Amino acid sequence: MKKRYVLLIGLLALFVLSGCSADEQGVQRKQEDTVELTISAAASLQESLQEIAASFEQKNPGISITFNFGSSGALAQQMSQGAPADLFFSAAEDKFAQVKEEGLIDEDAWTNLLANELALVVPLDTEQEISLFDDIVKAERISIGTPSAVPAGKYAQETLEGIGVWEDVESKVVYAKDVRQVLTYVETGNVDAGIVYKTDALVSDKVKVAAAADETMHTPIIYPAGIVKNSAHIEAAQQFYSYVQEEESIKIFEKYGFKGLTNRGS
């Protein structure tokens, strides 16, 4: 009787262990079957792309998405130096053209996806009388992105030069690594005003828009997007690339203040 009991216990233990092994193998197979896309994208796209990615992953459970958000210039430099990426979303045509000319973007899989606007923002509780771009001369400290690396900073400088106040405010400028850092400086009151994209102003409840930039004063704000030629997951990259151009995704972009474009790259 005792032998039978020991045998029964042994069989149960073997059954449990084999079940656990099967479960572990199943999890391992599932992990191996999941494709992870790495997307380098302009910081101003953070909220919209994360919402779109969440929807995409629900519809495509075999694909997970990891984002690398930053200034378009920094991201372009990273890619030029060999940083892995499957898709690139830039906030400027020149930064995108840089990696495209280096042969890093698939010539048949890129597009001018979105447009944006530039806005002058101030802290919500500011006492400064700033309601026009010309009023920026009243500020003691202003912030823009570093023009050489941050497209929003380049557009900001062009605007300030266009309205003839750049020389008056240049010494007051606090440069930021990307447009979101500009927004943070304004939110925390570290500067009296900042120049960001309209879309960034819309996601913050700690700033208010003092004025919108005259679009004739700066280079058109276009967001190109494309598939990286040496992507290890071309098929999955193509799926997401197509998905961001669908009507559902464009509506999400527009909800965050972007303008969808119909101009397609070659």
Condensed to tens digits (0 to 9), the pLDDT of residues 40-57 reads 999 999 999 999 999 999
Q: What is the pLDDT of residue 33?
A: 78
179 labelled ligand-binding: yes
CA gap 247, 266 in Å, rounded? 21
258 vs 31: which has the higher pLDDT: 258
Report the share of the chain in percent with pLDDT over 70.
86
Q: What is the pLDDT of residue 206?
A: 96
Q: What is the pLDDT of residue 255?
A: 95
Candidates 3.40.109.10, 3.40.50.2000, 3.40.190.10, 3.40.50.170; CATH matching 118-217: 3.40.190.10
pLDDT single digits (tens) 113-132: 999 999 999 999 998 999 99
Burial 74-101 (b: 16+ CB within 10 A, else e): bbbbbbeeeeebbbbbbbbbebbebbbe
80 labelled ligand-binding: no
Q: What is the pLDDT of residue 26?
A: 44
Q: What is the pLDDT of residue 4?
A: 54
pLDDT single digits (tens) 196-249: 999 999 999 999 999 999 999 999 999 999 999 999 999 999 999 999 999 999
Q: What is the pLDDT of residue 101?
A: 96
CA gap 11, 170 in Å, rounded? 80
What pTM does this model have? 0.82
Q: What is the pLDDT of residue 29?
A: 37
Domain boundaries defined on the chain: 34-115+221-260, 118-217
197 labelled ligand-binding: yes
Q: Please state, as a whole number, how many other Cβ atoms lie within 10 Å of the Cβ of residue 31.
A: 9
12 vs 136: which has the higher pLDDT: 136
Q: What is the pLDDT of residue 5?
A: 53
34-115+221-260 — its CATH code?
3.40.190.10
Confidence grade of residue 265 (pLDDT, cut at 50, 70, 90): very low
Residues 88, 92, 93, 95, Cα dihedral to 10°: -60
Average confidence (pLDDT) over 145-170: 97
Q: Please state, as a whole number, how many other Cβ atoms lie within 10 Å of the Cβ of residue 161.
A: 14
